[in-house]
Structure 1
């Protein structure tokens, strides 16, 4: 996979399949996000095929550039190579026992949407008017939102009492939506526009600053406060099945 030059959305899906397979074989919690991301990518592919987007080829280009950042980050982490702070925090969480599946999904979204998506959007809009991309950019968030209830069902497979907890917490899926979708729509688009308007010699510094900010936001997921942390520990003790089984549940 490391030598693969990803150029199409089908190659993205193939690369994600390989990551998922590796995580299943190694009982690696990093596979939770990879399984969800595979679903998102398939939805994007379907959207392109159904002419959902203004510009299908441009959307495929965005998907490829966007996904490649995650795939390369995964490879870098596995090979002890440098990677963004945002992804370092996310992958480090995969080594811990107590985080629940939802936290693994959220921290992956934090790194990928709030950092990578803006970078990818700016990259494919180089020497073009980035405003022309906004409508399709926003549709990505619609696709992500459409998967929220599917994620709830998947988490209920991991732990059947999850639906009771969802009601008790006032809908955890709202937490998922609020954290990932709203920040993606507002913060990531704003960052994409600012990055696209930044001189090339200053872009790396701007990305680094954004990376630090996004990695700090991860604390909202890893340290959500005493009450939520206590509930999450209760959920974690109730999660059933191996890591591999949970990945399979999220993938299917």
Structure 2
């Protein structure tokens, strides 16, 4: 991601890349739906960094960029006809399916990014800054709080009207099967485990591969087509 080095801050560069994707992707494309969500989060992180809203701006910026790189690498892989990580494959494979609703695309992207990428981004950031996961806990929690607030907004903006969202609607059951708060908690525990395993390369790699596959399986469930 050398193109990120030419702008004023790494977070500005991430925002620029996300905006370019937003402009290039069709509005109803499933990846575009998630990208708009992620752009909103990253813009808010940038505003809070500028306003001094993080106790350690350098750590917060590094975590945000390492986190974004995971998603952007998956986008690049799909664009070049390479296989993205398993956690992202369902979104890229079903991005144009007419039976998948926008809210499903948004949640599937969040599932991949929080369930898999966030833990690895914490480890990447620790290696970049030469610190321990505990040193990033405040930044992790503040970014997580932003995501939690955004999840509520996503559900409000992308939820079908009350006439569509009935108890019998399958989307109701899918929404109840996934929790951002649980995913955040699991990501923090996973990051600590991967950091503890960092000198056991084979074990850490197998652990990360299993995580990738499990998150991809959950994403495929979230993207179950609900209409023809």
TM over 0.5, shorter chain = yes
Alignment of 1:94-173 (within 5 A): 94-126=95-127, 127-155=130-158, 162-165=161-164
Distance 1:148 1:210, change over 3 A: closer
Q: Structure 1 unaligned runs (5+)? A: 224-228, 238-252
Equivalent-residue separation in structure 2 for 1:3 and 1:34 (angstroms): 20
Alignment of 1:21-40 (within 5 A): 21-24=23-26, 28-40=29-41
**Helix, strand or coil for the counterpart of 2:143?**
helix
Q: 1:43-101 CA deviation, whole Å, 9 max, x = no partner?
A: 11122122222211111111111101111101101111132111111211203110000
**Helix, strand or coil for the counterpart of 1:179?**
coil
Q: 1:91-134 CA deviation, whole Å, 9 max, x = no partner?
A: 11203110000110011111111100100011111342211211
Q: Retained in 2: the 8 A contact 1:73–1:83?
A: yes
Normalising by structure 2, we get a TM-score of: 0.84
Answering whether residue 184 of structure 2 is matched by residue 216 of structure 1, we say no
Normalising by structure 1, we get a TM-score of: 0.77
Q: Structure 2 unaligned runs (5+)? A: none
2:201 corresponds in structure 1 to: 201
Equivalent-residue separation in structure 1 for 2:68 and 2:106 (angstroms): 16
Q: 1:192-245 CA deviation, whole Å, 9 max, x = no partner?
A: 11111112623332211110111111243134xxxxx7xx53xxx8xxxxxxxx
**Helix, strand or coil for the counterpart of 1:95?**
coil
Pick aligned residue for 1:8 from 7, 10, 25 = 10
Paired positions, count = 220
1:17 corresponds in structure 2 to: 19
Equivalent-residue separation in structure 1 for 2:78 and 2:218 (angstroms): 20
Equivalent-residue separation in structure 2 for 1:173 and 1:137 (angstroms): 29
**Helix, strand or coil for the counterpart of 2:53?**
coil
- Alpha-carbon deviation of 1:173? 9.5
Equivalent-residue separation in structure 2 for 1:140 and 1:68 (angstroms): 16
Distance 1:11 1:72, change over 3 A: same
1:77 corresponds in structure 2 to: 78
Equivalent-residue separation in structure 2 for 1:174 and 1:142 (angstroms): 24
Distance 1:37 1:177, change over 3 A: farther
Equivalent-residue separation in structure 2 for 1:163 and 1:142 (angstroms): 27
